[in-house]
Structure 1
Amino acid sequence: MTEAAVEIFLAEPRGFCAGVDRAIDIVEHALKKFGAPIYVRHEIVHNTYVVNDLKAKGAIFIEDLAEVPPGSTLVFSAHGVSKAVEQEARARGFDIFDATCPLVTKVHVEVAKLAKEGYEFIMIGHKGHPEVEGTMGQLDHGIHLVEDVEDVAHVQPAQTKKLAVVTQTTLSVDDAAEISAAVRKRFPSIREPKQQDICYATQNRQDAVKIMSPQIEVLIVVGSPTSSNSNRLAELARKLGVPSYMVDSAQELQPEWLEGKSRVGLTAGASAPEVLVKQVIDRVKSLGAVSVRKMDGIQETVKFPLPKGLRI
């Protein structure tokens, strides 16, 4: 690292959001109430540390419901599931707790409501992401996925009078706005949600990176490779001209990233726990950082209640 005193700039807000907190709490409460094992369909949230911690406590993560023994307790991940998965789980007789983030559920409810009114949908999102699969799986047909502006030109809805747009909750705010503009241009009468689908936590963490970027020379994002919102933070910094690196743990941080840099930014995706941030701070300090400056930012107060069967 550089001869100059190295300072860490700590983004605010960062790390866990209310939906992630709730999802992890659901698994932990289920383990306490019913004992191990508790089965979880898909990673509860996209973070290696969190998943491994819950595995150690007795959670078993599966993709195929056939892997779950009859009569077991099953938790749906924070990303949500399709109607087909939900129906299969009920048919198999599992005791189900749904950890779907309420902000994702809001999108599902909107899709179901408008579908009854005869609407088709354009969904802005990343193909193959479990949240997108869950939302698109709310209907048998009538949801057209677009990943970028180019995709918008190729959408062929059966009709355009009743067309609505929905969005994956963890996208880049700026990219989603650009794609939404292209959708509106092609389909001027398209119905948009009353409130944007991108969640408050995704927006706030991206805003914090925008505020911090002019003051730093490199950004470290704590988050797993599968985490959409974490990837968007690293991408955003790069677009703003700041070299940016994602790490799943402090061990992954490479000293050469910080060579010649005296102002190091640090943030964490919405599924990354604060313990990992602290470990990265210690690692950067071991490489020469002498101080940590906490940035001013929005204080998040959102809380989501646990399902009735798990409240203490």
Structure 2
Amino acid sequence: MSASSATELSENYRAYRENNNYIIAAKALFIWDYIITLDNEVRYVWGRKPTIATILFLLNRYVVLACMLFQLIVLGGTEVSCNSIVRIVQTLVVISLFVLAAFFSLRIYATWGRDWRPAVPILLLALVSPVANVWIYSQSTPVVAPFPAVGCAQYFIHDITVYSRLSIVIRTTTIASEFLVVLFTFVKAVGSRKSRHFNEQAPLFMCIIRDGTLHFLLMLTLNVIQLGIATVPGAPNILSYVITPLSSILISRFLLNLRQVNDVVQRDATTLFMNTTILSARQFHSEVIIGNLGESLYWGSGSEYSSSRGKVVNTTQDLSTDHDSLSASPCGDYEMNRLRNRDEGTETT
């Protein structure tokens, strides 16, 4: 083995170990949050009447968890098992991306009182990522990862520049969809401030937080920073390993907060029923189908609470993109491109 080959192999192994450390840290972050919020999930989700909000929560949470389990299996993949394992993980990635698209669009649909006009452009932009991933997976072949990596990889049959350009398109449309979510939520919050019974001295910023804008703004900021780092040659894009599990965490916590708000609303509605009259059939129909995706958030027992239902009552990602990956989802790129061989077009897990 020549000195140059030995140096290259050593550098590849160093990058492989470094990537593994980042990936383990990202997994630990997600699992830690899952453990500390499991009691709230049991309390506010399990055993309750199913709505779109709860279905999105369960898909977002457990598709990511399934991805992590299969990522561990991928590490021990062989020539026989790699094809089936990789295809399963790819399917989970696409599902998680569709969940994100649904979450973004339904959130705006609910807060705008069943108005699809602001939700449609968000949905179309968010759908670019899963559709592009379906195409890229159809143009890839699962293989065993080349030495010194272990596990499975995917071989992209086209030139690597096609992959890179498509990755930029996905990142751009993801950022655009998240920006529209923040913008439309901000506009709705400003327009409905007077009707929410907020204290006139309360800062507008608190109103925006209660509408959930902070969650979406944080996701947008992370994706913009990550895209900026990715455009700098040789820059270590550490954020890319954290952004997808963090996006999933933010969505799960956001939906848990909404379920918590729903409990308060239901208690208030019960009191109203006992003293005056029942909820209208129109409100009931909305709550069963959409859930409380259009609610404001409840921030602690000492905070002021406000409910806004509109006329009737997303993920990926997408939350978002990963390091040089088209899998802009809470599943991330499932470690399928941890070690890219640019000459041969091979990406490893």
Band the TM-score falls in, shorter-chain normalisation = under 0.3
Structure with more helix by fraction: 2
| TM-score w.r.t. length of structure 2 | 0.23
Structure with more strand by fraction: 1
> Who wins on radius of gyration, i.e. which is larger?
2
